[in-house]
Amino acid sequence: MPSSVIPASPRESGGASRNPGIWIAAFAAMTREAASVFAGISQAGNSTRRNNDMKSNGLFLLTLLTTSTLFFPAKVQAAELTRIRVGYPSPSASFSPLFVAKEAGLFEKYGLSAELLYLQGVQITQVHVAKQIDFTVTGSPLPLQASVEGADLVLIASSIDKFIYKVIVVPSIMAPADLKGKTIGITRFGSLPDVAIRMLFHKWGFNADKDAKLVQVGRMSDMVIALSGKKIDAGVISDPTSFIAEKLGMKRLLDMADTEFEFANVAVVVSRAYAKAQRDTTLRFLKAYVDGTRRFLTDKALGIKALKKYAGSDDPEILAKTYDLFAGKYIKKNPTLSLKGVETALAMIADRNPKAKNRKAEEFVDLSLMDELEKSGFMR
């Protein structure tokens, strides 16, 4: 969906505010009168008269400024904002830089009006390819898979270069080998939890399609319900939902961040066409995103406020634990892409899609945007 400009509208109170023609004409008239008075001052021949004129003029200008404030409220005087739509796939703390940028007004700081859309699984990429959104902040496999098939999507930044999911299990499961023959919950096929468990099974020497049963559960919160109800034996769960599951008696088998995998986990994605036609808008989006990262890492109160709103938890203990984990361990200070992380994702895709074999990470990224911010001094 192409960006559009949203002009701020005048307040819906008072006769003049309801009729923009009135306040525009009034302001124009006052401006003409101001010019006339200033001309009179410059032509005045005696100092007394000049002083008197200047005093009356000061009163006039004060009246002009006061009236213009009434007729042109802050929203009207503010710069026009470029509208953008941004998709994200999960209420996970992984997307905290995006959530904080929204909550702290950082998009507006860079002249943008951002609408955040929660779009699960492959839907997020389908909607992006259909040009119904301008940016996505999501796991890299979905946009990479679409690009391998010919979609015009590229990765331009990455906040997390490791898997951060927890394998949460029922108490009877003690070791990875116990997962053989068990039912494991993921959000959607093709989603990042699906990718993560398949890579983990490969590391353990298992085949996810033959040695276990993967089932689509939906939302992370539904995963906890399924575990509690013994509908599944294990789930690939992000924070803070994993903490909720542990509070209910489930246990953590593994934190995938502790594995050796380097993986483009949370990527900022845009179409090549949009980045080319709207490069300035794309750079402004990245500035807001980088600022959102900085604010999240340095402002705990704001970070927790954003998590409370978007991650679906009101538990102060869980919110604090989640913030500390993501600010201290997971989220990078500089969201520049890791080509190695993209290569890992491509290799995973190649296991199931021959079209991805022998493809290079450089084909699916645009490093020039973050490079431009770096060269401008913005990243300091």
> Does residue 231 lie within any of the structural domains?
yes
State whether 51 and 86 are in the same domain: no
Domain that holds residue 178: 166-258
State whether 158 and 289 are in the same domain: yes
State whether 283 and 149 are in the same domain: yes
Contact 278, 156 (CB under 8 A): no
> Does residue 120 lie within any of the structural domains?
yes
Q: What is the pLDDT of residues 54-113, one digit of tens each?
A: 444 444 444 444 444 444 444 433 459 999 999 999 888 999 999 999 999 999 999 999
User: Domains in the chain: how many in total?
Assistant: 3
Strands 135-138 and 266-271 turn out to be antiparallel
Instruction: Say what the pLDDT of residue 79 is.
Output: 58
**pLDDT above 80 for 291:** yes
> Does residue 190 lie within any of the structural domains?
yes
Q: What is the pLDDT of residues 335-354, one digit of tens each?
A: 999 999 999 889 888 888 99
State whether 282 and 142 are in the same domain: yes
Output DSSP code: residue 219.
S
**Final residue belonging to a domain, choices 239, 258, 277:** 258
State phi, psi for 180 to the nearest 5 degrees: -60, 130
* 71-99 CB burial, b ≥16 within 10 A, e <16: bbeeebeeeebbbbbbbbbbbbbbbbbbb
State whether 277 and 369 are in the same domain: yes
> Does residue 4 lie within any of the structural domains?
no
| Alpha-carbon radius of gyration of the chain | 27
| Backbone conformation region of residue 375, classed left if phi is above 0, alpha if psi is from -120 to 50, else beta | alpha
State phi, psi for 86 to the nearest 5 degrees: -125, 125
> Does residue 155 lie within any of the structural domains?
yes
**Token representation of residue 259:** 């594995």
What CATH number is associated with residue 207?
Answer: 3.40.190.10
State whether 268 and 150 are in the same domain: yes
SS3 assignment, position 286 = helix
- What is the Cα–Cα distance from 47 to 325, expressed in whole angstroms? 71
More confident: 186 or 52: 186
State whether 116 and 42 are in the same domain: no
More confident: 214 or 21: 214
Instruction: Say what the pLDDT of residue 243 is.
Output: 87
State whether 252 and 273 are in the same domain: no
State whether 43 and 179 are in the same domain: no
- What is the Cα–Cα distance from 231 to 247, expressed in whole angstroms? 18
- What is the Cα–Cα distance from 289 to 324, expressed in whole angstroms? 20
> Does residue 150 lie within any of the structural domains?
yes
Q: What is the pLDDT of residues 258-280, one digit of tens each?
A: 888 888 889 999 999 999 999 99
- What is the Cα–Cα distance from 100 to 207, expressed in whole angstroms? 39
State whether 223 and 290 are in the same domain: no
Residues 240-256 have a mean pLDDT of: 90
Residues 166-174 have a mean pLDDT of: 94
Residues 6+ apart with CB under 8 A from 226: 185, 217, 232, 235
**pLDDT above 60 for 26:** no
- What is the Cα–Cα distance from 307 to 123, expressed in whole angstroms? 23
**Final residue belonging to a domain, choices 210, 230, 258:** 258
Tell me the β-bridge partners of 116. 86
16-20, 85-89, 154-158, 199-203: the lowest-pLDDT one: 16-20
CB count within 10 Å of CB 146 equals: 18
**Final residue belonging to a domain, choices 77, 107, 129:** 77
Residues 143-152 have a mean pLDDT of: 96
- What is the Cα–Cα distance from 142 to 136, expressed in whole angstroms? 11
What is the band of 1 on the pLDDT scale with cuts at 50, 70, 90?
A: very low
State whether 17 and 109 are in the same domain: no
State whether 275 and 369 are in the same domain: yes
> Does residue 298 lie within any of the structural domains?
yes
> Does residue 2 lie within any of the structural domains?
no
Q: Tell whether omega for the bond before 7 is within 30 degrees of 0, i.e. cis.
A: no
